Amino acid sequence: MFIIGILIIIGLFVFRNVYKVRPDDVRIQDKLKTRTYGTLAAAAIAAFLIIGSVLRIVPPGSVGVQVLFGRVLTGSTLSEGLNIVNPFVNLEIMTVRTQAYTMSIATEEGQRYGDDAIVVLTRDGLEVMMDLTVWYHLLGSEAANVFQKIGSDYVDKIVRPAARTAIRNTSVRYMAVEIYSDRREEVQTEISKALNKDFSDRGIALEKVLLRNISLPAKVKNAIEVKLEAEQEAQKMEFVLQKEKKEAERKQIEASGIAEAQEIIARSLTGERGRAYLSWKYLENLKNLYESPNNTILIAPYDKSFIPLLQVK
């Protein structure tokens, strides 16, 4: 655009010096007017092209890397917004937003179509399949160096190989069961440490590693399920034993209370107090029988002292 604008100005200058209107021309006014309008139009177009060639807009969340005649200007990365640049600079736009790279067994997930899960070898010699997602972003201050030394395809050159290597190097130090269960967070942390070192040396910032799905061999999965079932059964049995123990303690306390009550009652069934207690109990039972809807006639044998006719020793 800049060159075209310059060529238009040069052409305009040549045109005004070569194409001159003679004073004796009968149409001098019309020709002067045409030449003036044409000059203004050409000048406006040239100015638009020249200004447009030095103004560049960098999109939000991106930086602009300047390349001048095949040389990357590493010390002058452009930030987002409107920038004034050398008209001969070629601007390469690189995003600095958070990006996610997923390697998954699912066909519809991840950057590559089909099964892209990572197959790793654990310390016990078993093959385990893992799904992994890496959150990262390009450092704006290092964008020019990354473009110069790696290129705009740094994801395929750095992110993917580094992630697959880090997870394989980490998983080989753990048992398959450990990765699947109690040490999963530790494995994820170790992968993050290894990736962070590889990324930071190349102008990429690691945000987080997400260890998503872990697929164990069938025999290992069955063994884990059997172990979990056994543990659940043991916990259930322990609960039953505790319940039975509490029930036995309750019955023991209940029996002790009944025995103590019977002993107290037995001591009280002597003399006048005993006869009074038996009479009160007798009347209470008679009242219950009287109030029962199933009885119409009540015969209550008793002696002159109103004591039930029972053989009490």
Helix axes 28-54, 2-18, angle to 10 degrees: 160
The pTM for the full model equals 0.57
CATH number for the region 99-216 comes to 3.30.479.30
- What tens digit of pLDDT does each residue of 80-136 get? 888 888 778 888 899 999 999 888 876 666 666 656 778 888 888 888 888 888 999
The answer to which of 52-66, 192-206, 215-229, 262-276 has the lowest mean pLDDT is: 262-276
- Please report which helix (H) or strand (E) contains residue 267, including its range: helix 218-268
How would you write 71-119 as a 3-class SS string?
A: EECCCCCECCEEEECCCCEEEEEEECCCEEEEECCCCCCCCCCCCCCEE
Q: Which two tokens stand for residue 154?
A: 């740094």
Which range among 9-13, 45-49, 202-206 has the greatest average pLDDT? 202-206
Please state the length of the chain. Answer: 313
Question: Rounded to whole angstroms, what are the CA distances from 68 to 16, 30, 86, 92?
Answer: 34, 46, 8, 11
Instruction: Find out whether 35 and 16 touch, Cβ atoms under 8 Å.
Output: yes
- What tens digit of pLDDT does each residue of 143-169 get? 999 998 998 889 889 998 898 888 888
Euclidean distance between CA atoms 278 and 302, whole angstroms: 12
DSSP conformation class of 308: B
